[in-house]
Amino acid sequence: MAKRHPQGPEPDSPAHTHQELHATSKGIRVPAFHDLAKRLRFAPDQGRIWLDDQRMMLMHVSSLGSLRQELIESLDKETARGLITRIGYQAGTRDAAMARKVRAGLNTYDDFLAGPQLVSLEGMVHCEPVALDIDVQRGRYFGEFYLVDSSEAEAHIASYGIGNEPVCWMLIGYACGYTSAFMGRPILWRETECRGMGHAKCRVVGKPVEEWEDAQDDLRFLRIGDFVKWAPQAEEQLPATSRIAAGLTSAPENSFGVVGISAGFNTVCHMVNKVAPTNATVLFLGESGVGKEVFANNLHRLSKRADGPYVAVNCASIPEHLMESELFGVERGGFTGATTSRAGRFERADHGTLFLDEIATLSFTAQGKLLRALQQGEIERVGDTRTRQVDVRVVAATNVNLREAVKAGQFREDLFFRLNVFPIEVPPLRERRDDIPLMMNWFLQRMGRRHDKHITGFRESAVDAMFAYDWPGNVRELENMIERAVILAEDGGALDLCHLFTGGEEVDTTAFMLKRSGSIGRVGKLGGTESLSAAALGHSGLAETEVAMLRAAVAEANGNLSQAARVLGISRAKLVYRLRKYDVMPEAR
Ligand code: ZN
């Protein structure tokens, strides 16, 4: 159990010089929220409301109540609770990104309290902190809040009256999403008292998933239930999905990378669930490293062929002249040097699933044979005259646009149509950032075990950077980066930027800095004792980096300095001062 620090900020944190403070009745000091409130902008002539760069919408609480009621009645209470919790989770991770941007450079507590303040600003509930203990680096978290006047409870009570269970599902989801994104590890919140149960106000407690004794029930609402089947039965009682969601150490190795909560991830899971029990050919599309092979593997495990073989072939890794014999087998004397008969992957996958990765690299001959296998369920070994019947479900994947490949004459059109029965697009990691904290923790645990090292977590600046980075290499890149960092880091320490972004990968620091607060203070912090390597800074000095950032922001805003300042998270006056200082003030417009 984490210790409570009712005094709020840790003693050695810098004094609250940046912001006006006030004390709540409980003694935890909450910073003023002007910095957040001023990001809320109404543009009625455009039909828009902005909270920073997120478009918002005003909704009647009574309408939310009707929506909830309809969801509960038309689905069932558990399913509705799952949906609503996950929507809250996604909102929470969005706000965590904004909080980091707006409050960057302040101390951890003020930084964190932006979340509860945003919830108030958004009209969901008023939060009163009771106890808060945060140590991002060591992964320590304990939070306790009163939620006063929950709009969600109000909506629920209007439909169902007072009940015997907590009802603030969206708020709990929000708290989980916000805190997990903030900490870079899964934090679970639970409502111990709720207005929906007749209490005067709701009371919530949050701590790391591992510290809850019976987390699986709550985690179920953050996950896709059907993926429970993924785990070997004997492994443990906790459902696999919960373990995967939590990134707990006991999760099976072969499910790696299958963690997520984003809308994109859920859509893929939903489609995999739908198609798995059928015999349909499935085609996974998406960039390299998004985890297509992991989804294919899970599709097999969820299928009626789960007890049959699962054979995976990466078509790109097999030399073209061996491809046919690899896939379809070879008969003795079939070609020079074929001294024994051998079954190919197709035969080995009989009554099971054959996964063909990077399908676009198949030769035309192999494509023809594959088509025949798909259409007639029969194959012919190389050098053989008879055909053999096989019962194989083919699942294919590619990062190539096959329609284009057909047009370019590189891929058979008939095969394309045969494969494209049920395409599933796996979105790149940068389009499902909500999944990043779960994955960070998942891979950290996994790599810690692999290299026998105890790493406590991620430093805040590292969590920030992981969130902002664009991940061109997707999940695989994240996995590799964390593995390397675990090897580099001190045993018993935390992962920092210098372990993660070691310069091997192309870190677009300009973009990265702009996407964060763009805050110059932040750059100084990274370049100081926390030392971002020179390589990661693109071998340019701090001043050059800053000038590049200022220029980029001004250009992006088409010379509108107020807008550029907003992008950078500094005042217009500060921006003007800096532009003058470096003599890069744009011509007056
Ligand atoms: Zn409540």
Q: What spacing in Å lies between the alpha carbon of 122 and ligand 1's midpoint?
A: 17
Superfamily per CATH, domain 14-222: Trafficking protein particle complex subunit 3 (3.30.1380.20)
Tens-place pLDDT, residues 225-240: 333 333 332 233 333 3
Res. 543 pLDDT band, cuts 50 70 90: low
SS3 387: coil
State the Cα torsion 65-69-70-72 to the nearest 10°: 140
Look at residue 372 and give its three-state secondary structure: helix
The confidence score (pLDDT) of residue 587 equals: 64
Which pTM value belongs to this model?
0.61
Helix ranges (DSSP H) in 104-202: 108-121, 151-160, 169-183
pLDDT at 176: 93
| pLDDT for residue 366 | 87
Measured in Å, residue 195 CA sits from the centre of ligand 1 at 5
Confidence class for position 584, pLDDT limits 50, 70, 90: confident
- Alpha carbon of 110 to ligand 1 centroid (Å): 24
Residue 21 alpha carbon to ligand 1 centre in Å: 27
Q: Find, among 154, 156, 166, the residue nearest to 197 by Cα.
A: 166
For range 349-353, the mean pLDDT: 95
How far does the centroid of ligand 1 lie from the alpha carbon of residue 116, in Å? 15
Judged against a pLDDT cut of 50, whether residue 308 lies above it is answered with yes
Q: Which of 93, 475, 515, 72 is nearest to 262 (CA)?
A: 93
For 95, 213, 218, the CA distances from 81, given in Å and listed in that order, are: 21, 21, 10
CB 467 within 8 A of CB 516: no
Sorting pLDDT into bands at 50, 70 and 90, what band is 1? very low
pLDDT in tens, 388-405: 999 999 999 999 999 999
- Counting beta carbons within 10 angstroms of the beta carbon of residue 327, is it exposed (0 to 12), middle (13 to 18) or buried (19 or more)? buried
CA atoms of 247 and 237, how far apart (whole Å): 15
Q: Read off the pLDDT band of 507 (50, 70, 90).
A: very low
First to last CA, the chain: 59
The residues with which 205 forms a beta bridge, in sequence order, are 144, 190
Can you tell me the distance from the alpha carbon of 571 to that of 165, in angstroms, rounded to the nearest whole number? 46
The whole-angstrom separation of Cα 324 and Cα 125 is 63
CA gap 6, 269 in Å, rounded:
42
Q: What mean pLDDT is predicted for residues 454-474? A: 83
Residue ranges per domain, the chain? 14-222, 282-421, 432-500, 511-581
What are the C-alpha distances in Å from 179 to residues 26, 107, 351?
21, 16, 45
Residues 6+ apart with CB under 8 A from 509: 536, 537, 538, 545
- Distance CA(407)–CA(397), nearest Å, equals 19
- Grouping H, G, I as helix, E, B as strand and the rest as coil, residue 556 is helix
Distance from residue 568's CA to the centre of ligand 1 (Å): 37
CA 75–ligand 1 middle distance (angstroms): 22
CA–centroid distance, 170 to ligand 1, in Å, is 10
Q: What is the DSSP string of 11-51?
A: TTSPPS-SS-EEE-TTS-EEE--HHHHTTEEEEGGGTEEEE
Residue 59, both tokens? 């909704």
Beta-bridge mates of residue 311 = 354
- Distance of alpha carbon 70 from alpha carbon 153, whole angstroms: 16
pLDDT of residue 571: 77
Q: Assess whether pLDDT exceeds 70 at residue 380.
A: yes
What's the Cα-to-Cα distance from 455 to each of 174, 231, 441, rounded to whole Å? Answer: 27, 26, 11
What architecture (CATH level 2) is domain 282-421? 3-Layer(aba) Sandwich (3.40)
| Percentage of the chain exceeding pLDDT 70 | 79
Flag whether pLDDT at 484 surpasses 80: yes
What's the length of the chain? 589
Determine the Cα–Cα distance for residues 564 and 553; give it in Å rounded to an integer.
Answer: 5
Beta bridge partners of 132: 143
Task: Report the separation in Å between the CA atom of 128 and the middle of ligand 1, taken as the mean of its atom positions.
Answer: 13
Would you say residue 540 has pLDDT above 80?
no
Residue among 45, 64, 51 nearest 102 (CA): 51
* Cα 71 to middle of ligand 1, angstroms: 18
Tell me which residues have their CB within 5 A of the ion that is ligand 1.
150, 153, 168, 194, 202
Is the pLDDT at 553 greater than 50, yes or no?
yes
167 pLDDT more than 80: yes
Backbone CA torsion sign across 482, 488, 489, 495: negative
Tokens 């999944």 sit at which residue? Answer: 435
pLDDT at 105 over 70: no
Q: Read off the pLDDT of residues 419-442 as tens digits, 9 standing for 90 and up.
A: 999 999 999 998 888 788 778 888
Where does residue 457 fall: left (phi above 0), alpha (psi -120 to 50 degrees), or beta otherwise?
left
pLDDT of res. 252: 33
Name the least confident of 25-34, 405-414, 417-426, 570-579: 25-34
Q: What is the Cα–Cα distance from 105 to 98, expressed in whole angstroms?
A: 13
Kindly tell me if the per-residue pLDDT of 181 is higher than 80.
Answer: yes
CA angle 253, 503, 257 (to 5 degrees): 20
Answer CATH for 511-581 from 1.10.10, 1.10.30, 2.60.40, 1.10.3470: 1.10.10
Number of H helices, E strands in the chain: 24, 18
Q: What are phi and psi of 579, to 5 degrees?
A: -60, -40
pLDDT at 527 over 70: no
**Mean pLDDT, residues 38-46:** 79
Instruction: State in Å: Cα 37 to ligand 1 middle.
Output: 25
Which helix (H) or strand (E) segment holds residue 514: the answer is: helix 509-515
| Helix, strand, coil % over all residues of the chain, rounded to 5 | 50, 15, 35
| For residue 78, pLDDT beyond 80 | yes
Confidence at 492, pLDDT banded by 50, 70, 90: confident
Centre of ligand 1 to C-alpha 198, Å, is: 9
What does the pLDDT read at residue 6?
42
The third-level CATH classification (topology) of the domain covering 432-500 is Helicase, Ruva Protein; domain 3 (1.10.8)
Expressed in angstroms and rounded, the spacing between residue 172 Cα and the centre of ligand 1 is: 9
Higher local confidence (pLDDT), 202 or 294: 202
Q: So what's the pLDDT on residue 5?
A: 44
Interval between CA 60 and ligand 1 midpoint (Å): 18
Round to whole Å and give the CA distance between 471 and 515: 14
| Cβ neighbours of 480 (radius 10 Å) | 16
Each residue of 314-337: pLDDT tens digit? 998 888 888 888 999 988 876 666
Do the first three CATH levels of 432-500 and 511-581 match, i.e. the same topology?
Answer: no
More confident residue, 17 or 577: 577
Mean of pLDDT over the chain: 79
* Candidate from 56-70, 298-312, 522-536 with smallest mean pLDDT: 522-536
Cβ–Cβ < 8 Å for 395, 281: yes
